[in-house]
């Protein structure tokens, strides 16, 4: 079975506008090369650091980008452009009137055009940010799924928008990234008829020419996954040669040649290229091959051999038309190209970061018909190219008012009616809250969840029973046995079940978290994952934040608290994610009510028109006695407690809570604890009180919020000479206690909370999990890691000794 659509029909309009398109492509190439040249060789350099920019990678896709933006795309289509084509992309946007000429000399400059297309920072419209290879390949797939979901769920708005197509233009070496295949295997993405991936098949990565003929294997992999795989392999000149007598000998020879040989052949002078071409053929085919190229002069031969479909506007138009006819499955187009097309280092195995010299740039400008004295000139009035630019600007809807985002209501901050048992875990309350919110008329319709095959074990069951599982068609329940979880499939479903791929979960969050900006309706997407496996998709999580997606990530269970599950499942780095990743609010609630409040705050971050952010909740399965929270409720009341939780923490106990009054002058120590170890911290503080030590217990519900407040205050002080404020930590540790020593404790790496010592310069003993655990009970593992009550007491005494000096 042929996996590739070998000979799809030729397009009737083939060749139309081709000279104009070729002229546009030449100008795009010139502008892209000149932008990189400006950044590296014209703009004053700083500190001898190379600025960079990719002339060869840009040249490789100039023709494809031209075919897309000047021919095939329609208004509303969304495109991800491979990272290293940023200069070529901006050149296109400039010609289409979306970028001022003053930006062209500012590639890679502070406040200028970004090295890699960025939807948040570039001044021209970028649909998907790219940069980390592989992610841009799949972002449009998840956006297409979001488009499908919204068209079904929002009939009055999104469903009325014209159909959109989703395009990923990717480098061939991006397909080395596993996340691409994780998405291709995801069944929910398998029938996206409006998705086209275009592979810029230049056979080169960063370091090398990719060995062998890998494309055959890759095409078969796409086809096996249900994709429609097509090729734009040869340009018109080569195709015409193949039609002539003995042309099939030439075609066979090139088809069967490995990448290394081909790259060498196109870079050799004509006579040598001819000898290599003919001598390398099987003995029985050499004569036919020699005849096939006999009429081609030596000087033209290398160029003829390099005449590939990815640089031929007619061939590109033909394959895009074929892609359009395919409505039931995604299409992948393998567009054969030359890396560094039309540049002196075209096809050179080391051209990835190569830059043209000044003379080469000048010669290129002349060859491409640009005005070297006026390098940023657009097409002159009255030319066919100018008319095309104007027409395409209109066709693509550029200059029209931006999409309105439908108004959304952030949830009321009073807890919904969630029943919180006397003893419960944060994971349990998460599931119960979600199930309750499913029925909320305002928020419910905008909630959507996903999990990478851990829906049941992260407690989404109650929600799924009410919300159903999203599918295009109604499906039968999986079986008719009465079970706690019904799994009702249908278009109304609001849970999306993914296969076991954390990368897919985060890419899903990145696109479902941008639906306001992309399609005009905001969602509150909630993804749940085992906390330790966040690490598996960390780059995609960073991506989701980088593009300013709004979402809630629930990591549960976390830490060594999932005791019997052992060392293979413990998470130690996640508690500092919020501190270390921009744009992520992070909470580790302890009590049921705190889970409800932090979830509502996270939903507000998704829906609030003016204050958008992403939220991470680090939860667990340990049943916690809810009465331990009584002192804070008594002291602050419910509202005060909630505000403190959202600000980052509260004092659960202080010296005045000692069962026996403490003698005046008792030494003061702060016990600062987060998450599931709070019961141990309570026990430790009780012991310290009995030892006549004035211990306070500060529960940190968000190290991130505390650190952000402190950081912001310190920066204010530095930049504006204002008083040094430290945010909520200043409330948690009043002035009289700021020198008191501290012991911190968390079911996480010990450094997670240690920063609190630096705020007022107090000695700190940080306790946490700094080793791999093993299976056991919670007491076994807390003892082993040194985070049980006994260790906290010892840590407090050590902190007092440090303080005493
Ligand atoms: C995740 C990730 N790893 C490594 C890199 C560094 N890198 C940049 S480009 C590149 C090779 C890209 O090759 P290809 O996708 O074929 O693009 P081409 O330059 O050939 O157009 C690599 C390894 C990166 N950007 N992202
Ligand atoms: Mg490549």
The yes-or-no verdict on residue 4 having pLDDT over 70 is: no
Amino acid 13: pLDDT: 38
Percent of the chain whose pLDDT exceeds 90: 87
Question: Tell me: the pLDDT tens digits for 19-49?
Answer: 999 999 999 999 999 999 999 999 998 888 8
DSSP class of residue 370 equals: -
**Range scoring the smallest mean pLDDT among 3-12, 280-289, 521-530:** 3-12
Closest CA to 554 of 451, 474, 698: 451
CA of 120 to the centre of ligand 1 (A): 21
Nearest ligand to the CA of 171 is 1
Which atom of ligand 1 lies at the shortest distance from residue 206's CA? 11
Q: How far is CA 618 from the centre of its chain?
A: 20
CB 589 within 8 A of CB 595: yes
DSSP codes, 239-295: HHHHHSTTHHHHHHHHHH--HHHHHHHTTS-HHHHHHHHHHTS-GGGHHHHHHHTTT
| Whole-number Å distance between alpha carbons of 501 and 413 | 33
Cα-to-centroid distance, 565 and ligand 2 (Å): 43
Tell me, using a 6 A CB cutoff, whether residue 60 lines ligand 1: yes
User: β-strand 624-625 against 668-673: which pairing, if any?
Assistant: unpaired
Q: What percent of the chain has pLDDT over 70?
A: 96
Shortest-distance Cα residue to atom 22 of ligand 1: 206
Q: What spatial distance separates the first Cα and last Cα of the chain, rounded to whole Å? A: 80
How far apart are the CA of 180 and the centre of ligand 1, in A? 14
User: Looking at residues 551-568, what average pLDDT do you find?
Assistant: 92
> No. of H helices and E strands in the chain?
29, 20
pLDDT above 50: residue 8: no
Q: Which of 73, 90, 95 is nearest to 24 (CA)?
A: 95
Q: In the predicted model, what is the mean pLDDT of the chain?
A: 94
Pairing of strands 694-700, 649-653: antiparallel
How does pLDDT run across 461-500, given as a tens digit for each residue? 999 999 999 999 888 665 655 677 888 999 999 999 999 9
From the CA of 539, give the closest atom in ligand 1: 1
Distance 647 CA to ligand 2 centre (A): 48
Nearest ligand, CA of residue 168?
Answer: 1
115 lines ligand 1 (CB under 6 A): no
Look at residue 392 in the predicted model and tell me its pLDDT.
97
| Average pLDDT of span 437-446 | 93
Give, for ligand 1, the residue of 80, 84, 134, 503 to mutate: max count of ligand atoms closer than 8 Å to Cβ.
Answer: 84
Work out which ligand 1 atom sits closest to the CA atom of 202: 20
User: Between these two residues, 218 and 725, which has the higher pLDDT value?
Assistant: 218
Would you say residue 7 has pLDDT above 70? no
Is residue 339 lining ligand 1, measured as CB closer than 6 Å?
Answer: yes
Q: Which of 65, 206, 335, 336 to mutate to test the pocket of ligand 1 (most atoms within 8 A of CB)?
A: 206
User: Does ligand 1 lie within 6 Å of residue 353's CB atom?
Assistant: no
Distance 60 CA to ligand 2 centre (A): 8
Q: Is the pLDDT of residue 240 over 60?
A: yes
For residue 207, the CA-to-ligand 2 centroid distance in Å is 10
Band (pLDDT 50/70/90 cuts) for residue 727 is confident
Whether 503 is in the pocket of ligand 1, judged by its Cβ within 6 Å, is no
Q: Looking at 51-55, 430-434, 477-481, 739-743, which range is the least confident one?
A: 477-481
Q: Which atom of ligand 1 is nearest to the CA of 352?
A: 19
pLDDT tens by residue, 357-410: 999 999 999 999 999 999 999 999 999 999 999 999 999 999 998 889 999 888
pLDDT at res. 77: 98
How far does residue 56's CA lie from ligand 2's centre (Å)?
A: 10
> Rounded to whole angstroms, what are the CA distances from 254 to 64, 380, 431?
22, 41, 59
Mean pLDDT of 750-773: 93
Residue 12 per-residue DSSP state: T
Q: Tell me, what's the pLDDT at 793?
A: 98
Q: What is the average pLDDT across 523-535? A: 97
pLDDT band for position 415 (cuts 50, 70, 90): low
Angle between helices 55-67 and 18-37 (to 10 degrees): 150
- Residue pair 467/431 in contact (Cβ under 8 Å)? The answer is no
What's the average model confidence in pLDDT over 560-584? 92
Ligand nearest to the CA of 175: 1
Task: Please say if the pLDDT value at position 241 is more than 70.
Answer: yes
> Given ligand 1 and candidates 57, 133, 352, which is best to mutate, with the most ligand atoms within 8 Å of its CB?
133
Q: Identify which ligand lies nearest to the alpha carbon of 176.
A: 1
Closest Cα partner for 521 from 44, 153, 85? Answer: 153
Measuring from atom 7 of ligand 1, which residue has the nearest CA? 206
622 pLDDT more than 80: yes
What residues does 87 pair with on adjacent strands?
Answer: none
List the beta bridge partners of residue 767: 745
Does residue 430 register a pLDDT over 90?
yes
Q: How far is the CA of 171 from the centre of ligand 2 (A)?
A: 5
Residue 575 pLDDT > 70: yes
Distance CA(291)–CA(72), nearest Å, equals 38
Any ligand 1 atom below 6 A from CB of 173: yes
Decide whether any atom of ligand 1 lies within 6 Å of the 57 Cβ: yes
**Is residue 151 scored above 50 in pLDDT?**
yes
pLDDT of 603 > 50? The answer is yes
CA of 705 to the centre of ligand 2 (A): 43
| Cβ atoms of 281 and 248 closer than 8 Å | no
Residue nearest to atom 12 of ligand 1 (CA): 205
Closest atom, ligand 1, to C-alpha of 132: 26
Centroid of ligand 2 to alpha carbon of 600 (angstroms): 45
For 387, other C-beta atoms within 10 Å of its C-beta total 13
The CA 25 to ligand 1 mean position distance, Å, reads 23
Say if ligand 1 is within 6 A of residue 206 CB.
yes
Q: Which residue has the higher pLDDT, 759 or 428?
A: 428
Question: Are 672 and 733 within 8 A, CB to CB?
Answer: no
Residue 205 Cβ < 6 Å to ligand 1: yes
Strand partners, 336: 201
Q: 208 CA distance to ligand 1 centroid (A)?
A: 11
Q: Comparing 76-80, 223-227, 707-711, which segment has the lowest mean pLDDT?
A: 707-711
pLDDT digit string (tens) for 152-180?
A: 999 999 999 999 999 999 999 999 999 99
From the CA of 64, how far away is ligand 2's center (Å)? Answer: 14
Distance of alpha carbon 645 from alpha carbon 705, whole angstroms: 10
Tell me the Cα Rg of the chain. 31
């Amino acid at each position: 079975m042929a996996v590739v659509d070998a000979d799809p029909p030729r397009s009737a309009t083939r060749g139309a506008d081709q000279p104009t398109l070729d002229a546009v492509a030449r100008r795009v190439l010139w502008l892209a090369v000149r932008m990189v040249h400006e950044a590296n060789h014209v703009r004053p350099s700083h500190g001898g650091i190379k600025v960079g920019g990719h002339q060869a990678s840009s040249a490789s896709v100039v023709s494809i980008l031209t075919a897309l933006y000047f021919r095939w795309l329609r208004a509303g289509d969304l495109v991800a452009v491979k990272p290293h084509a940023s200069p070529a992309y901006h050149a296109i946007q400039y010609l289409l009137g979306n970028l001022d000429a003053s930006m062209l000399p500012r590639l890679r400059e502070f406040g200028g055009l970004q090295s890699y297309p960025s939807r948040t920072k570039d001044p021209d419209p970028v649909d998907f940010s790219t940069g980390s290879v592989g992610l841009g390949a799949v972002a449009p797939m998840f956006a297409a799924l979001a488009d499908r979901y919204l068209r079904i769920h929002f009939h009055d708005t999104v469903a009325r928008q014209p159909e959109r197509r989703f395009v990923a233009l990717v480098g061939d070496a991006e397909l080395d990234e596993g996340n691409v295949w994780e998405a291709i295997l995801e069944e929910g993405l398998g029938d996206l008829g409006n998705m086209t991936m275009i592979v810029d098949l230049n056979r080169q990565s960063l370091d090398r020419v990719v060995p062998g003929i890998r494309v055959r294997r890759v095409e078969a992999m796409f086809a096996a996954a249900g994709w429609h795989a097509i090729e734009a392999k040869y340009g018109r000149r080569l195709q015409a040669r193949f039609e002539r007598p003995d042309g099939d000998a030439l075609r066979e020879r090139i088809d069967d040649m490995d990448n290394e040989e081909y790259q060498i052949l196109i870079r050799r002078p004509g006579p040598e290229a001819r000898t290599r071409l003919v001598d390398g053929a099987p003995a029985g085919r050499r004569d036919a091959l020699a005849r096939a190229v006999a009429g081609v002069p030596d000087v033209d031969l290398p160029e003829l051999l390099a005449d590939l479909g990815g640089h031929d506007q007619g061939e590109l138009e033909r394959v895009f038309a074929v892609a359009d006819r395919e409505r039931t499955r995604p299409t992948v187009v393998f567009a054969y190209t030359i890396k560094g097309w039309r540049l002196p280092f075209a096809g050179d195995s080391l051209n990835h970061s190569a830059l043209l010299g000044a003379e080469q740039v000048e010669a290129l400008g002349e060859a491409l018909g640009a005005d070297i004295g006026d390098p940023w000139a657009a097409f002159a009035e009255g030319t066919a190219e100018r008319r095309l630019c104007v027409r395409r600007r209109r066709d693509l809807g550029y200059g029209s008012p931006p999409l309105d985002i439908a108004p959304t209501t952030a949830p009321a901050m009073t807890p919904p009616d969630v029943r919180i048992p006397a003893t419960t875990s944060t994971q349990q309350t998460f599931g119960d809250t979600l199930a309750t919110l499913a029925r909320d008329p305002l928020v419910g319709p905008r909630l959507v969840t996903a999990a990478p095959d851990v829906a049941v074990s992260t407690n989404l069951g109650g929600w799924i029973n009410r919300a159903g599982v999203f599918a295009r068609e109604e499906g039968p329940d999986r079986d008719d046995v009465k079970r706690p979880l019904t799994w009702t499939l249908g278009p109304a479903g609001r849970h999306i079940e993914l296969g076991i791929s954390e990368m897919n979960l985060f890419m899903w969050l990145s696109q479902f978290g941008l639906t306001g900006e992309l399609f005009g309706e905001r969602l509150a997407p909630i993804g749940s994952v085992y906390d330790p496996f966040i690490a598996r998709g960390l780059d995609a999580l960073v991506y989701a934040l980088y593009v300013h997606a709004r979402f809630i990530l629930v990591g549960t269970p976390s830490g060594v608290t999932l005791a019997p599950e052992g060392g293979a499942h413990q998470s130690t780095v996640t508690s500092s994610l919020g501190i270390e990743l921009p744009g992520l609010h992070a909470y580790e609630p302890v009590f049921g009510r705190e889970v409800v409040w932090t979830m509502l705050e996270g939903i507000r971050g998704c829906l609030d028109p003016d204050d958008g952010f992403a939220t991470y909740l680090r939860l667990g399965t340990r049943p916690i006695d809810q009465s331990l929270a009584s002192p804070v409720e008594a002291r602050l009341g419910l509202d005060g407690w909630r505000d403190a939780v959202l600000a980052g923490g509260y004092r659960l106990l202080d010296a005045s809570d000692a069962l026996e009054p403490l003698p005046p002058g008792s030494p003061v120590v702060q016990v600062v604890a987060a998450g599931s170890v709070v019961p141990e911290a309570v026990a430790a503080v009780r012991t310290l009180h009995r030892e006549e030590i004035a211990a306070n217990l500060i529960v940190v519900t968000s190290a991130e919020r505390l650190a952000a407040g402190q950081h912001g205050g310190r920066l204010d002080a530095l930049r504006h000479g204002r008083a040094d404020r430290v945010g909520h930590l200043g409330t948690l540790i009043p002035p009289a206690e700021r020198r008191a020593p501290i012991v911190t404790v968390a079911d996480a790496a010990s450094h997670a909370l240690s920063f609190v010592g630096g705020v007022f310069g107090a000695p700190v003993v940080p306790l946490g999990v700094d080793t791999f655990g093993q299976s056991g009970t919670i007491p076994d593992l807390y003892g082993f890691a040194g985070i049980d009550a006994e260790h906290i007491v010892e840590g407090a005494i050590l902190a007092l000794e440090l303080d005493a000096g």
